[in-house]
């Protein structure tokens, strides 16, 4: 019977280097302060808000799930949640079909406050990266991804990152989405014209604070995207949700839609709508899971196919 291989010894210098990096990182992100992002909240409170925000957009989280995800002691987590409840940011509600199980959701005030803090965090990180040239920014992001892969749970898949578009991205998004719909649904080249029109209008008439594009990147490659554009003062429109086949089953589509909803709420929209076609089942399941409802549908012939166009909407 063979004995299991022993782990190699770790040199003291390497231990010291990791500890030095940890001290540098906590100073860099301000984790040692009592409050973060010029707010009244601590790092653990903000992390709890983050987890609830992304869970409650679909299936609400529970305290037990949060504890497992964050590795927090049940008593400490309970005190964090009580503080957030007292601040009016989090509510506990009976789970559908099981009144004895309580789920956690952000209140309307909590959603608004989280969107503000999330935007502040993004600005803070942008300020850090802005000091670097573009190749150096890519090196930092790649190094972080490598740390996640090497030190994360065994077998964990590489994570994607979401960012604003860079030069060349918009044309690439049009090309990749057109190719995907041709390959998977048989749509012809005229679909590319629609995509190009949407992207051109977004770039030409972009309204800061009211419109946004997210580009999903994995290991340096663009693997998804989505747009939010202004339809009118009270209505946002979700457009061109796209996930590359190489990034399926990572939760990317859901994450992109969640970002759209958080942004639309923070921007002051009262509702968000989208147009799609019957038969795009993966996207439909995401829309339904976050609360979109089918408003109307109508047959049409486009992109070389007989299709059924659908309008979906969600009150924010």
pLDDT digits (tens, 9 = 90+) for 122-147: 888 888 888 888 778 877 777 777 77
The per-residue pLDDT for 121 is 82
Q: Copy the structure tokens of residue 61.
A: 């989280």
Domain span including residue 64: 36-112
The per-residue pLDDT for 129 is 84
The residue among 81, 112, 143 that closes a domain is 112
Q: Please report whether residue 148 resides in a domain.
A: no
User: Would you place residue 38 in the very low, low, confident or very high pLDDT band (cuts 50, 70, 90)?
Assistant: low
Query: Quick one: average pLDDT of 256-268?
Result: 90
Instruction: Give the CATH number for residue 223.
Output: 3.40.630.30
Range scoring the smallest mean pLDDT among 10-19, 31-40, 164-173, 270-279: 31-40
Closest CA to 29 of 172, 164, 127, 143: 127
The residue among 85, 112, 139 that closes a domain is 112
With a cut of 70, say whether residue 98 has pLDDT above it: no
With a cut of 60, say whether residue 158 has pLDDT above it: no
Pair (190, 50) in one structural domain: no
Pair (178, 285) in one structural domain: yes
Pair (199, 85) in one structural domain: no
Cβ-contact 142, 167 below 8 angstroms: no
Q: Please report whether residue 81 resides in a domain.
A: yes
DSSP string spanning 255-270? Answer: HHHHHHHHHHHHTT-S
Pair (274, 174) in one structural domain: yes
Using one digit for the tens of pLDDT, what is the confidence trace for 190-208?
Answer: 999 999 999 999 999 999 9
- b/e map 222-242, b = 16+ CB within 10 Å: bbbbbbbbbeeeeebbbbbbb
Pair (176, 309) in one structural domain: yes
Residues shown for the chain = 316
Q: Please report whether residue 137 resides in a domain.
A: no
Query: Quick one: average pLDDT of 295-299?
Result: 95
d(CA 229, CA 239): 7
The per-residue pLDDT for 57 is 46
With a cut of 60, say whether residue 34 has pLDDT above it: no
With a cut of 70, say whether residue 308 has pLDDT above it: yes
- What's the predicted TM-score (pTM) here? 0.58
Pair (259, 186) in one structural domain: yes
Q: Please report whether residue 130 resides in a domain.
A: no
Which run of H or of E encompasses 108? helix 108-129
Pair (165, 262) in one structural domain: yes
Pair (207, 268) in one structural domain: yes
Q: Please report whether residue 85 resides in a domain.
A: yes
The bridge status of strand 271-277 relative to strand 235-243 is: parallel
The per-residue pLDDT for 1 is 47
State the total domains in the chain: 2
Q: Please report whether residue 16 resides in a domain.
A: no
Higher pLDDT, 158 or 142: 142
Q: Please report whether residue 117 resides in a domain.
A: no
């Amino acid at each position: 019977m063979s004995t299991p291989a022993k782990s190699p010894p770790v040199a003291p210098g390497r231990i010291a280097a990791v500890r030095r990096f940890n001290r540098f990182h906590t100073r860099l992100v301000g984790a040692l302060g009592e409050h973060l992002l010029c707010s009244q909240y601590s790092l653990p409170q903000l992390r709890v808000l983050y987890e609830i925000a992304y869970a409650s957009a679909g299936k609400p989280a529970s305290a037990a799930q949060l504890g497992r995800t964050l590795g927090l002691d049940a008593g400490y987590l309970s005190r964090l949640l009580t503080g957030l409840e007292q601040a009016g940011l989090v509510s506990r509600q009976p789970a559908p079909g099981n009144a004895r199980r309580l789920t956690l959701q952000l209140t309307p005030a909590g959603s608004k406050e989280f969107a503000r803090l999330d935007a502040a965090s993004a600005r803070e990180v942008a300020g850090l990266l802005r000091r670097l040239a573009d190749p150096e920014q890519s090196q930092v992001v790649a190094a972080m991804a490598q740390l996640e892969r090497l030190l994360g749970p065994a077998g964990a898949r590489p994570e994607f990152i979401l960012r604003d578009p860079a030069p060349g991205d918009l044309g690439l998004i049009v090309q990749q989405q057109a190719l995907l719909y041709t390959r998977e649904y048989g749509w012809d080249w005229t679909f590319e014209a629609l995509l190009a029109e949407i992207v051109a209008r977004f770039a030409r008439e972009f309204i800061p604070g009211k419109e946004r594009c997210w580009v999903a990147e994995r290991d340096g490659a663009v693997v998804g995207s989505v747009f939010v554009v202004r339809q009118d003062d009270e209505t946002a429109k979700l457009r061109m949700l796209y996930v590359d086949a190489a990034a399926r089953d990572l939760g990317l589509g859901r994450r992109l839609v969640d970002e759209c909803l958080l942004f639309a709420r923070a921007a002051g929209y009262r509702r968000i709508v989208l147009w799609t076609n019957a038969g795009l089942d993966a996207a439909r399941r995401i829309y339904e899971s976050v609360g979109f409802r089918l408003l109307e549908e109508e047959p049409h012939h486009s992109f070389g196919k007989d299709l059924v166009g659908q309008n979906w909407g969600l009150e924010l």
